[in-house]
Structure 1
Amino acid sequence: MTTVTVAAPPKPRAERRAVRGLRAAGLYTVSVLVGLGVWQLLALHYGPSLVASPHETLTAAGDLAADGTLTDSVIASSRRILIGWGLGLLVGVPAGLLVGQIKVVRRLLEPYIEFFRFIPPVAFVTLAVVWLGIGESSKVVLIFYTSVFIVILNTSAGVMSVGESKLRAAASLGASRGQILRGIVLPSTVPHIVTGARLAMGNSFLTIVSAEIVAAQVGLGSLIWTSRNYGRIDWVFVGIITLGILGFVFDRVLRIVASRVLRRYGVKL
């Protein structure tokens, strides 16, 4: 007697997506729990004067949130980062397209790009305060400075990576420069632009701390520095962890927005 094996029907796409989501959530949970365990062991080993425990940090975060200090710091730092980073994208993407496409522009701007991108924003903190004061402008300009060159370099690299054969083929078919830019150059450059935007966002978080330490009364950098002066290690941990969480959230939101808005270019993040 012959036994007939019937293959199980494939799982629906929604079910497979749900399984993958649960698996990813489980891995994230395990990773966070392991990290908290290591953190707790370090706190027990070194003591509260050097390493605040997760419970002490959570309690300090609750106290800082209750009096509004943490909320005000998050809002102030987020506003400065988003404005400076946004201006960096607004200037960096068009400049990168020009640098990548037009050799004359590349030769004119390349010496300045290669010179200034090696000077860290921290070196300009004092000058920014002297020239622009201790207001918001100095912090925003420093974040713009740390963002714009990263975006320009990544965008221009994306433009220059487009195959010359594609450009010649489009031109031979009668495509105008604008059509080539929209139909060939941009789709190939978008992944580089998104990567540059993410790298610029990370560097913006590095810059905001040094800028706020020197010239700010409110912000996560100012909170970390003030906590150090008062010897509150738990507050320092609150500021550091809040910066990490904020950066993680910003990067995730950027990836989601980019994947949805730029899907028509064939970008997969």
Structure 2
Amino acid sequence: MTTVDTVEQADTAPRVRGRRSGVASGRIRTVGMYLISIAIGVGIWQLVAMQYGSALVASPAQTITAAKELASDGTLLNSVIASSRRILIGWGLGLVVGVPVGLLMGRLTVIRQLLDPYIEFFRFIPPVAFVTLAVVWLGIGESSKVVLIFYTSVFIVTLNTIAGVLSVNESKLRAATSLGANRWQVMRSVVLPATVPHIITGARLAMGNSFLTIVSAEIVAAQVGLGALIWTSRNYGRIDWVFVGIITLGILGFVFDRVLRVVSTRVLRRYGVKL
């Protein structure tokens, strides 16, 4: 090993350690800010509960006690599992259908002109408007809830995918074609990588809307689920149970979105998208 190599390694090592130290301190700072934010939120929540009383606003301590009560007999866990299953199945189906349809509509003008009127019509009708029809047509089983979640997700994913396809630089498409790429190769090598960020954005938005829909669907046609838990709690006058259901929905959505962000980061890196 030469003297130059030794000097270069000596210079590189401190930079690597400094970079790692900076990343670690950044993560610690982020966690610290999260904890401070949560502490402030809980403090405000406690003040509001003290102001209005337990009949209107359950305090943090009452909510924790109610959560333990619901967890002890398995009600909370069963509700979380039921709602999560419905959301993931309906959302997943929305991705499976929405992405290919969006790619085709973005690339083929004829298909876009044929399907665009239906998408523009139905996407403005909220899923809650179809709750009654879903129950009448599909019953009170899992199908009605899954279909409503699918309805919520598919249009969001489709529109974001179309936007991604239409945003592809035309010069890249012409360059790939001039090099002899056929339609499938252009789609796989040029269009899809450029559309992935839009697809991921659509997936995250669809996930958020799925949580909005699941509550309405479970209130009308479910015995188990977080929406059903909130509605049942209201019937029994248990405000603390209502708070448990609402907070659990928020935590569940936060976890789902974080997992989706981690997966999305890896997918984006795979396609060479800079973060």
Bin for the TM-score computed over the shorter chain: over 0.9
Q: Aligned partners of 1:212 and 1:259: how far apart in 2? A: 32
SS in structure 2 of the partner of residue 52 of structure 1: coil
Q: Equivalents in 2 of 1:206, 1:36: separation in Å?
A: 24
Q: Distance in 1 between matches of 2:272 and 2:29?
A: 27
CA offset at residue 47 of structure 1? 0.6
Rounded Cα–Cα distance in structure 2 between residues aligned with 1:90 and 1:268: 25
**Offset, 1:256:** 0.6
Structure 1 residue 203 corresponds to structure 2 residue 197: no
Instruction: Letter of the 1:22 partner, please give it.
Output: I
CA–CA separation in structure 2 for the residues paired with 1:144 and 1:257: 21
TM-score by length of 1: 0.95
Amino acid at match of 1:76: A
TM-score normalised according to structure 2 size: 0.93
2:244 counterpart residue number: 238
Determine if the alignment matches structure 1 residue 58 to structure 2 residue 64.
yes
Matching residue of 2:51: 45
Cα deviation 1:149-169 (Å, max 9, x = unaligned) = 000000010000001111111
Amino acid aligned to 1:66: S
1:162 to 151, 168, 174: 168
Please say if 1:97 is aligned against 2:106.
Answer: no
Kindly report the root-mean-square deviation, in angstroms, between the aligned alpha carbons of the 2 structures: 1.4
The CA deviation at 1:268 is 4.8
1:1-269 matches, cutoff 5 A: 9-10=14-15, 12=17, 13-268=19-274
Q: Which runs of 5+ in 2 are unaligned?
A: 1-10
Query: Structure 1 CA distance, aligned partners of 2:106 and 2:30?
Result: 38
User: Paired residue for 1:4?
Assistant: none
Deviations 1:186-231 (A, max 9, x none): 1110000000000000000000000000000000000000000000
User: Whole-Å Cα distance in 2 between the matches of residues 195 and 56 of structure 1?
Assistant: 37
The farther-off stretch of 224-233 and 16-25 is: 16-25
CA distance in 2, matches of 1:144, 1:160: 24
1:11 is displaced (CA, Å) by: 5.6
Structure 1: runs of 5+ lacking an equivalent: 1-6
Which amino acid letter does the alignment assign opposite residue 58 of structure 2? A
Structure 1 pair 50–18 and aligned structure 2 pair: CA distance change class (3 A): same
Amino-acid identity (%): 77
> How many residue pairs are counted as aligned between the two chains?
263
The aligned amino acid for 1:177 is R
More off after superposition, 154-163 vs 170-179: 170-179
Asked if structure 2 preserves the Cα contact closer than 8 Å seen for 1:259 and 1:267, the reply is no
- Residue 142 of structure 1 contacts residue 207 of structure 1 at CA under 8 Å; is this kept in 2? yes
